[in-house]
C-alpha cells in the first residue's frame, strides 16, 4: 500500500472535499510513472494516450510495477513529480488516470489538473508578522487545521522543533491567524513556507486567513505541535535514471 492509498480509506471521488484536497496535495509531491508509447529517446518522449469521447487520457501510477500490471506488460514510462505532470497535461486538455484499480484510483480532468497547478503556485504572505499581537486560536481554526497540519508537518521531521497556531491582530486592525514554525534553519524557511502555503491552498475555505511565520513567541493557549528532530539516515545513492526520466530535465513530450 502506497502513501496515496493510505489517504483513501474510501474511493477518492467519494471522499469529503477536505480529504480529496489532502490526497491532491500528496499527489503533487509523489513521483508518478506516466505511460509512454516507448522508452524516451534522448530528450524526447511520446505519451501513451487513449482517445475517449470526453477527450484524451493519460495513465500514471505511483509504482512502476503497478503501471506494468495495469498494461499486463513492461511499459515505457517517464518518472516525474505529480506537480510537474499536472503542469504539462493541463494546457493540453489531457485527462489523467492515476493508479487504476488501486485504492487511490482517481480520474483528474484537465480542469482539475489546472486547478492543482494554480494551487501549487500559492506563496505565503510574509508582511506584518513581526508586529502582530498573538493570542489563542479560534476553536474553528483548530478544528479545520489540526489534523492536516499534523499530517503535513510529519513530513518535516528534523527540520523544525515545533509549530504553533495562534490568532493574530495587527496594528491596522486586520486580524487572522499565524502558523508559527520554531527552530527552522534560515536556508530551509522559503521551502517550508511554500509547502505550508500549498497545504492551506488545498484546504476548503478557512474560517479566517492564515499566514506563515518563524520564531515568534507563542502565546498561552496556542495549538502546539511538537516535531521529531531525529535526523533520518542518509538515503542510498539513487540508481542512474533512464534517459529522459530526470524530473529536473524532463523530455520534450509529444501529445
Do 181 and 101 belong to one domain? no
Residues 6+ positions from 63 with CB-CB distance below 8 Å: 2, 33
Helix ranges, 46-102 (H): 64-71, 82-89
Do 49 and 116 belong to one domain? yes
Structural domain ending residue among the three candidates 75, 104, 121: 121
Question: How does 78-96 read in b/e, with b if 16+ C-beta sit within 10 Å?
Answer: bbbbbbbbbbbbbeeebbb
Do 10 and 78 belong to one domain? yes
**Would you say residue 16 lies in a domain?**
yes
pLDDT mean values, one per 10 residues, the chain (255 residues) = 93 89 89 89 85 92 94 90 93 96 96 89 59 88 88 79 89 89 89 86 86 88 69 43 50 56
Do 116 and 184 belong to one domain? no
Do 176 and 106 belong to one domain? no
Do 110 and 136 belong to one domain? no
**Would you say residue 67 lies in a domain?**
yes
Strands 106-108 and 44-46, by their bridges, are: unpaired
Do 14 and 109 belong to one domain? yes
What Rg, from alpha-carbon coordinates, does the chain have? 20
The count of domains in the chain is 2
Task: Name the nearest CA neighbour of 98 among 199, 203, 23.
Answer: 23
- Which pLDDT score is estimated for 251? 55
Do 117 and 13 belong to one domain? yes
- Which pLDDT score is estimated for 40? 75
**Would you say residue 255 lies in a domain?**
no
Tell me phi and psi for residue 70, to 5 degrees: -65, -40
Do 36 and 68 belong to one domain? yes
Task: Evaluate whether 209 touches 145 at the Cβ level (below 8 Å).
Answer: no
- Which pLDDT score is estimated for 64? 93
**Would you say residue 107 lies in a domain?**
yes
Task: Name the nearest CA neighbour of 200 among 31, 22, 17.
Answer: 22
Task: Evaluate whether 147 touches 207 at the Cβ level (below 8 Å).
Answer: no
Q: How far apart are CA 42 and CA 234, in angstroms?
A: 31
Do 7 and 61 belong to one domain? yes
**Would you say residue 117 lies in a domain?**
yes
Structural domain ending residue among the three candidates 104, 121, 138: 121
* Overall pTM > 0.75: no
**Would you say residue 237 lies in a domain?**
no
Structural domain ending residue among the three candidates 121, 143, 173: 121
Q: How far is CA 3 from the centre of its chain?
A: 12
**Would you say residue 242 lies in a domain?**
no
- What CATH code is carried by the domain that includes residue 152? 3.30.300
- Which pLDDT score is estimated for 77? 92
- What CATH code is carried by the domain that includes residue 97? 3.40.1350
Q: Which domain holds residue 150?
A: 129-226
**Would you say residue 253 lies in a domain?**
no
Do 19 and 111 belong to one domain? yes
Do 107 and 133 belong to one domain? no
Amino acid at each position: 500500500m502506497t502513501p496515496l492509498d493510505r489517504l483513501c480509506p474510501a474511493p477518492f471521488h467519494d471522499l469529503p472535499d477536505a480529504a480529496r484536497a489532502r490526497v491532491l496535495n500528496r499527489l503533487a509531491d509523489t513521483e508518478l510513472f506516466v505511460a509512454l508509447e516507448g522508452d524516451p529517446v534522448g530528450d524526447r518522449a511520446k505519451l501513451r494516450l487513449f482517445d475517449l469521447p470526453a477527450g484524451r487520457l493519460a495513465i500514471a501510477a505511483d509504482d512502476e510495477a503497478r503501471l506494468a500490471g495495469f498494461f499486463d506488460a513492461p511499459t515505457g514510462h517517464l518518472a516525474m513529480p505529480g506537480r510537474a505532470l499536472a503542469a504539462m497535461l493541463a494546457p493540453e486538455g489531457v485527462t489523467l488516470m492515476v493508479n487504476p484499480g488501486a485504492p487511490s484510483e482517481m480520474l483528474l480532468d484537465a480542469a482539475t489538473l489546472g486547478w492543482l497547478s494554480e494551487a501549487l503556485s500559492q506563496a505565503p504572505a510574509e508582511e506584518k508578522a513581526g508586529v502582530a499581537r498573538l493570542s489563542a486560536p479560534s476553536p474553528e481554526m483548530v478544528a479545520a487545521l489540526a489534523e492536516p497540519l499534523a499530517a503535513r508537518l510529519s513530513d518535516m521531521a528534523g527540520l523544525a522543533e515545533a509549530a504553533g497556531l495562534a490568532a493574530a491582530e495587527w496594528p491596522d486592525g486586520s486580524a487572522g491567524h499565524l502558523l508559527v514554525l520554531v527552530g527552522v534553519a534560515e536556508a530551509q524557511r522559503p521551502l517550508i513556507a511554500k509547502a505550508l502555503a500549498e497545504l492551506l491552498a488545498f484546504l476548503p475555505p478557512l474560517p479566517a486567513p492564515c499566514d506563515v511565520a518563524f520564531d515568534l513567541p507563542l502565546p498561552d493557549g496556542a495549538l502546539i505541535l511538537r516535531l521529531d528532530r531525529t535526523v533520518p539516515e542518509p538515503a542510498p545513492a539513487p540508481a542512474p535514471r533512464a534517459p529522459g526520466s530526470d524530473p529536473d530535465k524532463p523530455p520534450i513530450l509529444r501529445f
